[in-house]
Structure 1
Amino acid sequence: MELEDGRIGRIELITSDKHLYLDRGLTIFYVVSGQVTFSYLGQAKSVKQGELFVQQSALEVEIMLAKAQLVMISLQADFTDIFNLNKLIISCASQDSKRVEYQHLVNLVQALIDYVSVDSANYQANIAYGKVIEIIQYLSANFSKQLLSKQLQIRDVIEYLRLNYNQALDLVEVAKHFGVSPQYLSKFFKAKHGNNFNQELTDIRLYNAARQLVNEDKGIIDVAYDSGFNSIATFNRAFKKHYQMTPANYRLSHQNKVSVVPVEQTKHSLVLLAAANKREVLTVNANDKQEPLVLPRQVYLDSNPTKQTLTLLAKLGIERVVVTIPPITNLDAFLYSFNQQIDPLLRAGYALVLAFATPSLNYLQEILRYFINLIGIENVAKWQVQIDLQAYQEIPKLNKILGEFKLDQGLVIAGRYRQLKALSAKLVPLKVMIKLYSVSGTKADTLAKVKSLKALGYQKLGVVLHGFFEANLKVLNDTEYLGVDLVAQILALQGKVDFIEAPKLYDDLQPKLVAGQMGLATSNGLLKAAYYALRLLNKVDPNLVYVDKKTIVTKDSVGNYNLTLLNQQPILNQQVLIDYQNYPEILATQTRKVTIRLRGLVNGQYRLKKRIVSRHTGNLIKVWGQLGFIQQHLTVSEGRYLAHKTLPDIFIKELAVADNTAVFELELAANELVSLHLIKLY
Structure 2
Amino acid sequence: MSNTRKNTNDNTNIPIRVYLNKIKVISSSVQKYVEFLFILKGELGVVINNQRYRLVESDVVLINSGDVYEIHGEGENLILSMQIENDFFTSLVRREQSLFLCNSSINENEHYDDIRSILAKIMYEYSNRNTGYEFKIMSLLYDITYTLNTNFLITEDYSIQNLEVKSSKYAQRINNIVAYIKQNYNQQISLQDVADSQYLTPEYLSKFFKVNMGMTFSKYLNEFRLTQAVKELLRTDDSITKVAMNNGFPNLVAFNKIFKEVYDTTPAEYRNEVRKKTSKSNKIHNEKVESEIMKVDYNQAFEKLTKYVSNEDKSDNKLLEHSLGINVDVEANVETVKPIIHSWRNLINLGYAQDGLRSDLQQHLTNIQDKIKFKYARFQGIFSDEMFNFGEENDNEEYYNFTKIDKLIDFLYSINLKPFIELGNKAKVLNLATDKVMYFKDSSKRHKGFKESLVLLEKFIVHAINRYGINEVSQWYFEIWKEGDIEYVFWNGDFEKYLKNFQSYYNIIKRIVPGAKVGGPGFNPEVNMKWFDEFLNQVKKTGIQLDFLSISIYPYELIEDSKTEQASDKDRNKAYKKGEYLPHLLPSKDKNYSKVRLDKIRKMIKTSGTSIPEIHVTEYNSSISHRHPANDTTFKATFITKNILDNLDEIDSFGYWFCSDISGELKDSKNLLYGDMGLISANGINKPGFYAYEMLSKLGNDLIQKGDGYIITKKSSYNYEIITYNYKHFDYFYCLKEETPVSLEQYYNIYENQQYLNINIALKGIKSGRYRIKKYTLNREHGSIFDEWLNMNAIYNIKRDEIDYLKQICIPKQTVFYSESIDELKLESCLSPHEVNLYEITFEYS
TM-score, normalised to structure 1's length?
0.56
2:598: which partner in 1?
450
Deviation by residue 1:428-469 (Cα, 9 ceiling, x = unmatched): 551420110223425544334423332234452111343244
1:466: which partner in 2?
620
1:11: which partner in 2?
none
Aligned with 1:608 (options 740, 749, 773): 773
In the alignment, is the contact (CA less than 8 A) between 2:364 and 2:680 conserved in 1?
Answer: no
Structure 1 residue 400, shift from structure 2 partner: 4.7
2:266 corresponds to 1:299:
no
Structure 1 residue 349, shift from structure 2 partner: 2.8
Structure 1 residue 494, shift from structure 2 partner: 3.1
Structure 1 residue 681, shift from structure 2 partner: 1.7
d(CA) in 1 for partners of 2:555, 2:345:
18
Secondary structure, counterpart of 2:681 in structure 1:
coil
d(CA) in 1 for partners of 2:110, 2:505:
85
More displaced, 555-564 or 545-554? 545-554
Secondary structure, counterpart of 1:605 in structure 2:
strand
Q: 1:339 to 1:580 in 2, by over 3 A?
A: same
In the alignment, is the contact (CA less than 8 A) between 1:469 and 1:515 conserved in 2?
Answer: no
2:372: which partner in 1?
316
Q: 1:197 to 1:433 in 2, by over 3 A?
A: same
2:469: which partner in 1?
376
Q: 1:407 to 1:530 in 2, by over 3 A?
A: farther
Secondary structure, counterpart of 2:456 in structure 1:
helix
Q: 1:401 to 1:544 in 2, by over 3 A?
A: farther
Q: 1:409 to 1:93 in 2, by over 3 A?
A: farther
2:553: which partner in 1?
438
1:599: which partner in 2?
764
Structure 1 residue 595, shift from structure 2 partner: 0.8
d(CA) in 1 for partners of 2:325, 2:415:
51
In the alignment, is the contact (CA less than 8 A) between 2:773 and 2:842 conserved in 1?
Answer: yes
More displaced, 542-551 or 588-597? 542-551
Structure 2: gaps spanning 5 or more residues: 1-54, 63-75, 81-101, 113-156, 173-309, 313-320, 392-397, 426-449, 483-496, 557-587
Structure 1 residue 346, shift from structure 2 partner: 2.0
2:517: which partner in 1?
410
d(CA) in 1 for partners of 2:724, 2:344:
15
d(CA) in 1 for partners of 2:682, 2:166:
71
Q: 1:158 to 1:452 in 2, by over 3 A?
A: closer
More displaced, 360-369 or 193-202? 193-202
d(CA) in 2 for partners of 1:618, 1:354:
33
1:587: which partner in 2?
751
**Paired residues for 1:162-173 under 5 Å:** none
Q: 1:378 is aligned with what amino acid?
A: N
d(CA) in 2 for partners of 1:459, 1:516:
36
d(CA) in 2 for partners of 1:469, 1:502:
12
Aligned with 1:557 (options 672, 693, 716): 716
In the alignment, is the contact (CA less than 8 A) between 1:570 and 1:588 conserved in 2?
Answer: yes
1:489: which partner in 2?
643
Q: 2:467 is aligned with what amino acid?
A: L
**Paired residues for 1:166-565 under 5 Å:** 192=161, 196-197=165-166, 199=168, 279-292=327-340, 293-301=342-350, 302=352, 303=355, 304=357, 305-324=361-380, 325-327=382-384, 329-330=390-391, 334-357=401-424, 360-389=453-482, 391-403=498-510, 406-416=513-523, 417=525, 418=528, 420-428=532-540, 429=543, 430-441=545-556, 442=588, 444-454=592-602, 455-456=604-605, 457=610, 458-469=612-623, 476-494=630-648, 496-507=650-661, 508-510=664-666, 512=669, 516-565=675-724
2:4: which partner in 1?
none
Q: 2:344 is aligned with what amino acid?
A: L
Percent identity for Structure 1 against Structure 2: 16
Secondary structure, counterpart of 1:385 in structure 2:
strand
Q: 1:451 to 1:346 in 2, by over 3 A?
A: same
d(CA) in 2 for partners of 1:347, 1:498:
24
d(CA) in 2 for partners of 1:652, 1:451:
39
Q: 1:307 to 1:157 in 2, by over 3 A?
A: closer
2:818 corresponds to 1:654:
yes
2:86: which partner in 1?
none
Q: 1:363 is aligned with what amino acid?
A: L
Q: 1:519 is aligned with what amino acid?
A: G
d(CA) in 2 for partners of 1:200, 1:159:
17
Q: 1:361 to 1:310 in 2, by over 3 A?
A: same
In the alignment, is the contact (CA less than 8 A) between 1:283 and 1:598 conserved in 2?
Answer: yes
Q: What's the Cα RMSD here? A: 4.6
Q: 1:197 to 1:298 in 2, by over 3 A?
A: same
Q: 1:310 is aligned with what amino acid?
A: T
In the alignment, is the contact (CA less than 8 A) between 1:491 and 1:550 conserved in 2?
Answer: no
In the alignment, is the contact (CA less than 8 A) between 2:59 and 2:105 conserved in 1?
Answer: no
Q: 1:579 is aligned with what amino acid?
A: S
1:103: which partner in 2?
none
Structure 1 residue 322, shift from structure 2 partner: 1.2
Structure 1 residue 192, shift from structure 2 partner: 4.3
Q: 1:673 to 1:556 in 2, by over 3 A?
A: same
Structure 1 residue 587, shift from structure 2 partner: 2.5
Structure 1 residue 564, shift from structure 2 partner: 0.9
In the alignment, is the contact (CA less than 8 A) between 1:478 and 1:528 conserved in 2?
Answer: yes
Q: 1:404 to 1:191 in 2, by over 3 A?
A: closer
d(CA) in 1 for partners of 2:399, 2:789:
42
d(CA) in 2 for partners of 1:189, 1:402:
81
In the alignment, is the contact (CA less than 8 A) between 2:474 and 2:514 conserved in 1?
Answer: yes
Secondary structure, counterpart of 1:582 in structure 2:
helix
Q: 1:537 to 1:326 in 2, by over 3 A?
A: same
In the alignment, is the contact (CA less than 8 A) between 2:773 and 2:839 conserved in 1?
Answer: yes
Q: 1:489 is aligned with what amino acid?
A: N
Q: 2:537 is aligned with what amino acid?
A: A
Structure 1 residue 619, shift from structure 2 partner: 6.5
Q: 1:591 is aligned with what amino acid?
A: Y
d(CA) in 1 for partners of 2:787, 2:592:
38
d(CA) in 2 for partners of 1:155, 1:477:
45
Q: 2:472 is aligned with what amino acid?
A: N
Structure 1 residue 354, shift from structure 2 partner: 2.0
d(CA) in 2 for partners of 1:337, 1:624:
37
Structure 1 residue 190, shift from structure 2 partner: 13
Secondary structure, counterpart of 1:366 in structure 2:
helix
TM-score, normalised to structure 2's length?
0.46
2:265: which partner in 1?
none
Q: 1:314 to 1:405 in 2, by over 3 A?
A: farther
Structure 1: gaps spanning 5 or more residues: 1-87, 96-139, 145-152, 164-187, 204-260, 264-272
Q: 1:287 is aligned with what amino acid?
A: E
